[in-house]
Amino acid sequence: MKYKLGDFVRFVDEKMEGFVTRIIDDQMIGVTGEDEFEIPVLASKVTTVHGYEPAGSKPKIANEVPVITGEFEKKGIYIGVVADAKANSVVHFYLVNNTSFHLLAVLSTEKQQVFKGEFADAIGPKSAVKIYSAQLADLQLWPKFIFNIIYSTKQNVEPPAPLVVQEKFKAKDFSTSKKSIPLLTEPGWLIRLDEPEMVIDAQKLKESFFKSAEEKVVLDKPVSEVDLHIEKLRDDYQFLQSSEILNIQLAHFHKALDAAIVHQLPDMVFIHGAGNGTLRNELHKLLGKHPKVQTFMDARKEKFGYGATKVIFK
């Protein structure tokens, strides 16, 4: 397959062009045009449009080796995920080296015990390079990412032990607001690879799960779909301010979420409506940080559109 996600191509037999937004198999690709509809087509029936460089191509800084001045930075290795500016359904993964070390980096993927080498190269200090591209809509089908990174420097600094990270990305990793990616000009999602290991306090963990009899609260088993529309929660909603409405909805959300966890429900749907997106964004931020949430996604778009979120529990 000579094409990759984000390539700009033109149909051989028709006056059509667009971006490669899906690799279906060795012969078929999906191409999305200006109408935002994806069309399956044989790879032999399209040709690359030369002179166009798609968003997500390697930034110029990736080839530069800056002179390190000032304090030697030992930490700061990230994965930056940036949406393609033209084909929004495609995201590009960058390995961002914000340290003063030279890195020898290898990315492999694993899916159903099938391993594949995706990237291997040296990355200079204070630089970034694109290492992978994928369809964001296929997030649930993404493979597990395996990073192996070795540090090197000519300066008198002891390099850390090689970094080995295995990451299975989930929807909650992309539920937060985009932020500025170090060394890149585009905003995106940032995942740090060289975080220090979390130290678990066994006593505090035990206390968080076990409470005294006085503290225990009986929670009725909830229904699998919880409607957070304010008119379903309060009869006097016409007299409430926006901030009061949001607080009531969030309180009801927390109560239903806690009950679902206590009763070990496998999943739950919260109906929040589309509106201006305020409630949806608040729920996604809370779910993204919750230790008992495995993942979450838009629920039954044919029924709710973007007005409901399905939560899957660990």
Q: Provide the pLDDT for residue 200.
A: 47
The neighbouring-strand residues paired with 19 are 8, 32
pTM greater than the 0.95 cutoff: no
Distances in Å between the Cα of 108 and the Cα atoms of 49, 113, 187, 198, 299 are 30, 12, 25, 25, 31
3-state SS, residue 108: strand
Q: Provide the pLDDT for residue 148.
A: 96
Q: What are the tokens at 194? A: 């060289």
Cα gap 252→258, rounded to integer Å: 10
Cα gap 33→87, rounded to integer Å: 9
Q: Provide the pLDDT for residue 53.
A: 54
Consecutive sets of 10 residues in the chain, 314 residues long: mean pLDDT of each?
Answer: 80 84 83 79 83 48 48 91 83 93 96 93 94 87 94 93 90 76 86 67 54 52 85 79 87 89 89 86 90 87 80 90
Cα gap 132→93, rounded to integer Å: 5
Distances in Å between the Cα of 263 and the Cα atoms of 44, 220, 312, 314 are 54, 8, 14, 13
Q: Buried b / exposed e across 69-108, counting CB within 10 Å, b at 16+?
A: eeeeeeebbbbbbbbbebbebbbbbbbbbbbbbbbebbbb
Cα gap 18→278, rounded to integer Å: 33
Q: What are the tokens at 79? A: 């994965």
Q: Provide the pLDDT for residue 38.
A: 81
Domain 60-192 has CATH 2.60.40.1600: yes
Give the CB-side neighbour count of residue 87, counting CA atoms within 13 A. Answer: 31
Q: Residue 287: left (phi > 0), alpha (psi -120 to 50), or beta? A: alpha
Question: Which of these CATH numbers, 3.30.70.1110, 1.10.1580.10, 3.40.50.2300, 3.30.1370.110, describes 202-313?
Answer: 3.30.1370.110
Give the start-to-end residue ranges of the domains of the chain: 8-48, 60-192, 202-313
Give the CB-side neighbour count of residue 79, counting CA atoms within 13 A. Answer: 24
Q: What are the tokens at 249? A: 């909805």
